[in-house]
Structure formats: C-alpha cells, structure tokens
Structure 1
Amino acid sequence: MAKKDTYEMTLAFAGICQAAHLAQQLARHGRCPEAAYHCSLRSLTHPLNGTGGALAFFGGDEAALRFGVETVIAVLNTPAQKGALADITRYSLGMIGLERKVTKNTQAMSDLEQRLRQLDRQLQHFGIDSSTLASSTASIYTDIVSPLGPRIQITGEQAILQNSLVQSRVRAVLLTGVRSAMLWQQCGGGRLQLLFSRGKMVEMAKLILSGLPHVDA
C-alpha cells in the first residue's frame, strides 16, 4: 500500500475512532474534548469527493484530529481490550457497519445529502456548540441512519444518558462517524485493512502525532 493511501486511510479511520471516543466520553462524563467535537461536526458539511483529500474533509488541520489519531493507536495497538477501549472499538465497528447499510440504500443517501445541506445552512445561524444544532444533527441520525440497523448500544452513566442534550450529542457524533466511514471506504478502507494493514496504520498515526505541536498535560 502506498504511503499516501495509508495516510488518507489513517485520517479517515481517525474520524471514525474520534466519533466513537467522543460518544464514549459523552456517555460516561456528559462532556468531551471541544476541539475534537467541533472538528467532527464540521466534517458533516464537507463533500466526500471534494478536493484536498481526507485532510480537507476534517478542516485541513491534522491537529484537529489529534483525539482521533491517538484513539487509532489505542484501538489498533491493543490486542486484548476491556472497558472503555472495548466500547470504542465496538462503536467504531458499528458505525462502519451502518455506513454499508446507508450507502447501499439509494433513498437513504439522497435523504442524507439533503439533510446535510440543510445542516450547513443552520451552521450560518447557530454556534457549533448550540443545542439546536446538536438536536438537528441527532435527528438526521435518528431519522435516516438508525432505522437501517443494527443499532449501536451506547453504555455509560444512566443519569448522564437521560440528559436530552447528551443524547443529541451522542447521536450527532455517531452520524459523523458513519460519514467518516464513507470516507474510509472511499479511501480504500475495509475490514481487510483492519486485519492486514493495522500495523501500517499505527505507524502512520504515530508519524502524524510526531509532527503535531506538543501539548502540555
């Protein structure tokens, strides 16, 4: 596999992993890293076949995908997974599975594209953190993606998951993961790559991280 192909595929998979990790954080803590959340939501309005490749899909900034790239390494580099990491892997595979359902359904794809255009217009009037935008994004997932099943069972704190805003944000990030899975397929990704190219993707993820500005804890 060419280095450029591995780079594109790793970024796309980072989008999926980022969405899964955001969902896990929201379900367990009611909050998540803001920069990663903003990056994932904004990717919904970028065309899948636009210029600039996978990086442009995520706003043209590798640093905005740091959370996802770090998660790629954790997911692909840990053979025996338990707890939070196992949940993130399950969510990621669930979104990849849902992407196949949506892509094969012509009506669902048409409806999704139309609703995302409406979402783009809403972004002109509402902030990226607004409950209105989260609700609108969540409704796209609920109306179009989720009915195609199988549904992704999110585990977390019951009291937190009963919060309507948290529910909306979880569904919103799941939608971003499904769309990142569309990009992943477009870049040549698939289950075979997860089996046979995971080492190359981990190496690429580490290379991407090494080039990002250092963040003090």
Structure 2
Amino acid sequence: MTKTLRNQVIALAGLSQAVYLVQHIAKRGTADREDMAASIGSVLKIDSGDVVDVYGGLHCVMTGLRQIEKQLGGPDVVDPELARYASTLIFLERKLMKQPRMLEAIRAGMEKAAAIAEERGVLDEEVLATLAETYHQTVSQLKPRVMVAGEQMYLSDPENGNRIRALLLAGIRSVVLWRKCGGSRWKLLFLRPKLQKEAQQLLESLSRT
C-alpha cells in the first residue's frame, strides 16, 4: 500500500462509512445497500494492493468521505457516537495485531465468506453471518467492546446483529488499511485540516465525474 495522505483518507472513509451504517441499522433497522455492499466487499478483498480497489471504486466510499468532512470539522457538527465507534475500532486494531491466532481466525473467516459470496453475492445472509461469527470469536473478545446504541427492536433482530458485527469487522479492515498507508492516531489529532481538505478534494473529483 502506498503511504499517501490520499490513501489514508480513503481508508478512513471506509471506516467512517462502516460505523455510519452500523448506526443506521441500530437506530433505523436499515441501511443503504450499495454502501453496505462496498463495506462488506472490502472485507472479502483480502490481498488487494490498491486501496481504492478494496472498496470497488472511490464512488463506493462517498458516504464515508462525507462523514469525514463532517467529523473533522468543528465540535458543533461532530457526531460523538460515530467518533466513539471509530476510535474504539482504532484502539482494538492495535490489540488485535498482537493476537496472531485471532488474525489467523479472521483470515479463515474472510476466506470462507468470500467463497460463499462468489456464489450468492456479497450481501447474502450466510456471508454476513460468517463475518459476524468471525467478529464475535475474535475482535469481540478484546476490551473494550464496541457498545452499539440503538432501538432494542432493531438490535434484537438476529439479521441486524449479523449486519452490525460484519460492518464492525469491515471497520477493522479499514483501520488495518489506514495503518498500512501510514495512518496513525497522532496524524488524526494534528493533521485534521489536511485530512478534511483531502476528503473535500476527493468529493469534488467525484462530483465532476
């Protein structure tokens, strides 16, 4: 992965999109299917060498780019819940990298889900269930756990639970990409204006296509 600010922002967009979809499912019981397909699809592209390709194209993380533009703005526009989800996943990724057995289990789960997706599609319920179980057996065992807030009627639905866990795994996947592209917590703290500007430029490029 090329260590550029552009690639870091695209990976952060993947993370932002994943947690945004988690929030929507938890509170509304649904989420945009195209955005879902891009986020879940990113988990299934295990060995891709290009960040944009992981998500299926820059346009596939437009929702995430919009969230970055907003979340890196002033405190009056930041969604603290989304910030909490994202920061927790960034923290958990560091812990996960020190757990080789968990990493092996995640790769096995991703490969199994990818094989199913080839026959049935990325958003097939068995694909989501496989990724959800992979998350449950690995990342979910680390502390702190991601505590998803929402409506109980949606959170108690098993299919929604699978979607949420699969998307949280997608969020972890994006954090891994972000690190590979040179991302770090200090850059999030001290390069916020540059990251926001890059997100804006990427959105402008999409609007011209």
* Superposition TM-score tier, normalisation by shorter sequence: over 0.9
| Deviation sequence 1:120-166 (CA, Å, 0-9, x none) | 11112223222222111110100111102210110011111111111
* TM-score, scaled relative to structure 2: 0.94
User: CA contact under 8 A between 2:14 and 2:174: conserved in structure 1?
Assistant: yes
| Corresponding residue for residue 118 of structure 1 | 112
What is residue 22 of structure 2 aligned with on the other side? 23
CA distance in 2, matches of 1:158, 1:81: 26
Say whether 1:151 aligns with 2:145.
Answer: yes
Aligned-residue RMSD, C-alpha: 1.8
Aligned residues: 208
How big is the shift at 1:81? 5.7
Secondary structure of 1:211 counterpart: helix
Aligned equivalent of 2:205? 211
2:22 partner letter: A
Q: Percent identity?
A: 28
1:102 aligns with 96
Q: Which residue of 1 aligns with 2:40?
A: 41
Report the equivalent of 1:65: 61
| C-alpha separation in 2, matches of 1:78 and 1:24 | 21
1:88 matched residue in structure 2: 82
TM-score normalised by length of structure 1:
0.90
**Distance in 2, Cα, partners of 1:160 & 1:46:** 29
After the TM superposition, which segments of 4 or more aligned residues of structure 1 sit over 4 Å from their partners?
none
SS in 1 for 2:206: coil
Encode CA deviations 1:181-203: one digit per residue, 9 max, x unaligned.
Answer: 00111111111011111111100
Determine the structure 2 residue equivalent to 1:174.
Answer: 168
The one-letter amino acid of 1:25's match is H
